[in-house]
Amino acid sequence: MNMPHNNITKTLIEKFPADVIESHEAYGDTTVIVKKGRITDILRFLKEEIQPSFEMLIDLCGVDYLQWKDSARFEVVYHLLSLKTHDRVRVRAPLSEEDPTIDSVSPLWKAADWYEREVFDMFGIIFHRHPNLKRILMFEGFEGHPLRKDYPAEKRQQIPTAEIDLLHLSLQNRHFSETDHLPTRSMILNIGPSHPAMHGALRYQVELDGETIHRAVAEIGYLHRAFEKHSESSTYTQVIPYTDRLNYLSSMMNNVGFAHAVEKILGVEIPPRAKMIRVIVCELSRIMDHLVCLAAAFVDLGALTNFWYFFDAREKIYDCTEKLAGARLTTNYTRIGGVWRDISPDIITGIHKAFKVLDKAILDVSRLLERNRIFIDRTRNVGIISKEDAVSYGYTGPCLRACGVPYDIRKDQPYYDYDRFDFDVPVGSRGDVNDRLMVRFEEMRQSAKIIQQALTRLPPGPIMIEDPKIALPAKSNVYGSIEGLMNHFMIVTQGICPPKGEVYSATEAANGELGFYIVSDGGPRPYRVRCRPPCFPLTASSERLVEGGMIADLIAIVGSLNIVVGELDR
């Protein structure tokens, strides 16, 4: 794996000798630090000219290095992914405090539009030639940039009560045709944030001609809870409960995703049993997430009965997670270095029972809908996104696979021995609503298959690593030995201290690639945690997807994308 990375950096240095400041490899991640001046050229080179090409902008985020002595104030960090070789490269561009500006890469990737808006919103970094540089998560009229280190976490701001221009969404009634006998105007309709089909608090503002949508603008941020800012003032273990609230439909997966990132920077390997349990809970969460997504999508299409069939199955799986983690929704199940509780035979029988219900539910629903003409008419050829656009928007997960790109981190960059399981990655062909929903159907079956394999080969052994700097010692040890007591004391009062550095870890969450980019300064609290929510790029693309469709199509499209606002707004 080292060779191609070195090749990339070598080629980059050859091509842009004056612009590459530094390159290194740590924790398996290749990092290139470049000057901001030619960032567009460098990224275009990486995207188009180099072999293998990095066609996907997986993540774009900012970091504020205010407290680091030997560093520029800001950095914009680009994470790129090659879909052919599944290599990743991180490009960092430092910016000075006096001139926090950089060129926008939105001409290269459509995904950059919203990512750059978020960086602007959070750090105040200006992107030149960005088409629409406005706040995205914070409200219009917010003062300051919250993720800057000099913005106090406790600071409160009042939402301006004066009528702020909510139409900074920039939609206005337009006159259609001047020659028409009747002077007709378009109608602006707000769908959300409080609307039966906008699950969570998502808002679309659409410009309608009759029922046809001419333009649509998505407004997000209603559920922004400052996850990233919170994480900076919590220890690594304390962040785990916050991750529950990201994608609350599959909270265990977020727990695993975050723990995986921290373990990567700590450089530890968790015990085999813990790995297997994580696989099991991840796949259970995937099933639950898909169940909710599909059930909600069907409700939005008017097929309410399917909702109950799926929720019945979901309920049974929740019973299992309740036995396992003590909670149903916010599980807080993983710990750095393992999992919290062991899986018992009781739970295993519970899972098997739940699968019986699940099989029946999937069978019932697919019989009701799969060949139902109304359902097919409503979903087929609706909200089509091409392969190229999907990649450009940074789609991952089922929505990307529905377009025919068989990218699944579990297969392509296996973690937790996913390569030892026998499962298929379902792929669609048209990239429409129907494909997105059907891919999820099949993924549930595959996840059940994985879990059944995992349950049969669950190895015995510990579920936490035995590292006194990471895992709490056994209680008997704490009470019985001075060393145990001291370790316990240190972990509880100090926390886990990873080495100084940065790491990006990606896991395949139900909705796509869940990435955590962690910058550690060596202390017990992360210096910066960036969560790459899989549905952020999906939502960004939805504005274009719904154009030309009808209101009912918008509902179907949003349902098929599975936008979970908890994760979208963080």
Partner 1 sequence: MDILIFILKIVIPPVLVLNFIPLMIWFERKGSAYIQERRGPNRAHILGIRLGGIIHNFADVIKLITKEDIIPANVNRLYFIGAPLIAIFVGIVTIAVVPLADSVQIGEKLVHIQVADLNVGILYVFAISSLGVYSVLLAGWSSNNKYSLLGGLRAASQMVSYELALGLTVVGLFMLAESASVSEIVRHQGPHVLHWNFVQQPLAFIIFWIAVFAETNRTPFDLPEGESEIVAGYHTEYSSMKFALFFMAEYAHMVVAAALITALFFGGWQVPFLTTLDLKTQAPFYLYVTVLTVSFIALFFGLLLLSQFKKGKYRDARDYEVLVFGIPLFLLALAGGGSAIFTGPWALPEWGRVLFAALVQATSFGIKMTFFAFFFIWIRWTLPRFRYDQVMNFGWKGMLPLALLNIVVTGVVLLWKGNHHG
Residue reference for tokens 């091409």? 386
In degrees rounded to 5, what are phi and psi of residue 133? Answer: -85, 95
Q: Is position 339 an interface residue for partner 1 (rule: CB under 8 A)?
A: no
| Candidate residues 89, 274, 303, 439; the one interacting with partner 1 per rule CB under 8 A | 303
Smallest distance from partner 1 to CB 360, Å: 10
Structure tokens at 289: 């997430």
Structure tokens at 335: 């710990």
Neighbours of 211 (CB within 10 A): 12
Site membership for partner 1, residue 372 (CB under 8 A): yes
Distance CA 515, CA 40 (A): 23
Q: Residue 294 Cβ, how far from partner 1 at the closest point, in Å?
A: 13
- For residues 528 and 92, what is the distance between their CA atoms, to the nearest angstrom? 15
Which residue in 349, 332, 350 sits closest to 341, CA to CA?
332
Of the two residues 50 and 208, which places its CB atom closer to partner 1 in the complex? 208
Q: Which is nearer to partner 1, 455 or 552 (CB)?
A: 552
In sequence order, what are the beta bridge partners of 204? 191, 218
Residue 329 CB, nearest approach to partner 1 (Å)? 21
Cα 220-221-223 angle, rounded to 5 deg: 120
Q: Report which residue type is found at 361.
A: A
Can you tell me the distance from the alpha carbon of 57 to that of 411, in angstroms, rounded to the nearest whole number? 20
Based on the shown chain and the rule CB under 8 A, indicate whether residue 268 belongs to the binding site for partner 1.
no
10 φ, ψ (degrees, to nearest 5) = -60, -50
Stretch that binds partner 1, among 270-278, 300-308, 444-452, 484-492 (CB under 8 A): 300-308
Q: Which of 363, 374, 486, 492 binds partner 1 (CB under 8 A)?
A: 374
**DSSP symbol at 209:** E
What are the two backbone dihedrals, phi and then psi, of residue 380, each rounded to the nearest 5 degrees? Answer: -75, 140
CB of 187 to partner 1, least distance (A): 6
- CB atoms closer than 10 angstroms to residue 30: 21
- Site for partner 1 contains 455 (CB under 8 A): no
Applying CB under 8 A, which of residues 34, 281, 369, 463 lies at the interface with partner 1? 369
Kindly tell me which of 189 and 268 has the beta carbon lying closer to partner 1: 189
Q: Kindly state the smallest distance separating residue 558's Cβ from partner 1, in Å.
A: 10
Task: Give the footprint of partner 1 on residues 3-62 (CB under 8 A).
Answer: none
**Any contact of residue 308 with partner 1 (CB under 8 A)?**
yes
Which of 72, 368, 425, 472 forms a contact with partner 1 (CB under 8 A)? Answer: 368
- The piece of 1-9, 45-53, 293-301, 460-468 that touches partner 1 (CB under 8 A) is 293-301
Instruction: Note whether 363 binds partner 1 by CB under 8 A.
Output: no
State which of residues 78, 114, 123, 309 lies at the interface with partner 1 (CB under 8 A): 309
- 230 is a contact residue toward partner 1 (CB under 8 A): no
Q: With CB under 8 A as the contact rule, which of the stretches 23-31, 132-140, 329-337, 370-378 interacts with partner 1?
A: 370-378
Residue 153 vs 187, nearer CB to partner 1: 187
Could you check whether the bond before residue 193 is cis, i.e. omega within 30 degrees of 0?
yes
Helix (H, G, I), strand (E, B) or coil at 309: helix
Q: How many CB atoms lie within 10 A of CB 271?
A: 18
362 binds partner 1 (CB under 8 A): no
Give the binding range for partner 1 (CB under 8 A) out of 259-267, 297-305, 337-345, 432-440: 297-305
SS3 524: coil
**For residues 25 and 211, which CB has a smaller minimum distance to partner 1 in the complex?**
211
CA dihedral 264, 265, 267, 268 (to 10 degrees): -60
Count CB atoms within 10 A of the CB of residue 88: 21
Position 291 contacts partner 1 (CB under 8 A)? no
Task: Answer yes or no whether residue 550 interacts with partner 1 by CB under 8 A.
Answer: yes
Give the dihedral sign, CA 46/48/50/55: positive
Q: Which is nearer to partner 1, 83 or 189 (CB)?
A: 189
Which range in 5-13, 141-149, 373-381, 444-452 contacts partner 1 by CB under 8 A?
373-381
Residue 116 phi/psi, 5° resolution? -70, -35
Write the binding mask 149 to 178 for partner 1: x where contact by CB under 8 A, - elsewhere. ------------------------------
As a whole number of angstroms, the distance between CA 239 and CA 225 comes to 13
451 binds partner 1 (CB under 8 A): no
Nearer residue to partner 1 within complex by CB, 166 or 304: 304
Q: Which span sits near partner 1 by CB under 8 A: 97-105, 233-241, 417-425, 548-556?
A: 548-556
Dihedral over alpha carbons 225, 227, 232, 234 (to 10 degrees):
90
Spatial CB neighbours of 196, under 8 Å, sequence gap ≥ 6: none
196 near partner 1, judged by CB under 8 A: yes
Does residue 77 sit in helix, strand or coil? strand
Check binding of 298 to partner 1 (CB under 8 A): yes
Instruction: Indicate which single residue of 41, 140, 312, 412 sits in contact with partner 1 (rule: CB under 8 A).
Output: 312
Is 553 a binding residue for partner 1 by CB under 8 A? The answer is yes
Query: Rounded distance, CA 161 to CA 169, Å?
Result: 18
Give dist(CA 427, CA 439) in Å, integer: 7
Residues that bind partner 1 (CB under 8 A): 187, 189, 195-197, 211, 298-305, 308-309, 312, 368-369, 372, 374-375, 377-378, 550-553, 555
